[in-house]
Amino acid sequence: MPLSDQTLTRAEELIARYPQPRSALLPILFLLQAEDGYVSPAGVAQVAQLLGLTKAEVGAVATFYTMFRRRPVGKYLVSVCKTLPCQLRGSRDISEAMARRLDVPLGGTDESGMVTVEEVECLAACDGAPVVQVNTENYERLSEEEALELLEALLRDEVPPPTFAADGSVTEPSTAALHWRLAGLGDPPAAYGGTSAAAPEAPGDAGPAPDPGDRS
């Protein structure tokens, strides 16, 4: 479904940050994905109208970047690295075991809509191979058994701390919360899986938008 009226106010806030409306395309797509779960054809049309672009221009960007989804994903997106260092440490066995447990092909989502599992290219943490990400936070040096324990926790809607939790790393509580934050809107509200009880602020609540002409 297209962006709600409430979310459109946040979209206008994002657009006001840039000298040209089209420059807000990436954050707007993240915002759309936070609300809709993916970049839908209806969403592409709405974003195009909002930014004064063609649907082809919006679609070209949405299909170029792998972080934008063309179909809904689960609350937890589990990404298993498939490049050589991780494969040598058993990542293919991990991804196949997870897919079997969920009874879905790689890239699929379990029936409850809780978990999507996929294989991805290098996650830039080869010293931690094999690497599994949950909503872009790393879980490193996992055995197949440990990876399945992680999966079972996610299916129970529990989020174990990531590898670098002691250094401040926190796994986002949902893909919606992740995409809200990636849009540049800060802490996600409860409606998007965040911990804040407050509703999303209107643009005026966050203070005046920056003047595009101000280069200070």
pTM for the predicted model, two decimal places: 0.80
> Is the per-residue pLDDT at 51 higher than 70?
yes
Q: Residue 193 above 80 pLDDT?
A: no
Section 113-133 average pLDDT:
95
Euclidean distance between CA atoms 144 and 137, whole angstroms: 18
pLDDT digits 0-9 by tens, 124-145: 999 999 999 999 999 999 999 9
Percent of the chain with pLDDT over 90: 71
Residue 202: band (very low, low, confident or very high) from pLDDT cuts 50, 70, 90: very low
Domains and CATH numbers, the chain: 5-70+174-202 (1.10.10.1590), 76-167 (3.40.30.10)
How much is the mean pLDDT over the chain?
Answer: 88
Distance CA 142, CA 150 (A): 9
Over 50: is that where the pLDDT of 212 sits?
Answer: no
Q: Is the pLDDT of residue 165 over 60?
A: yes
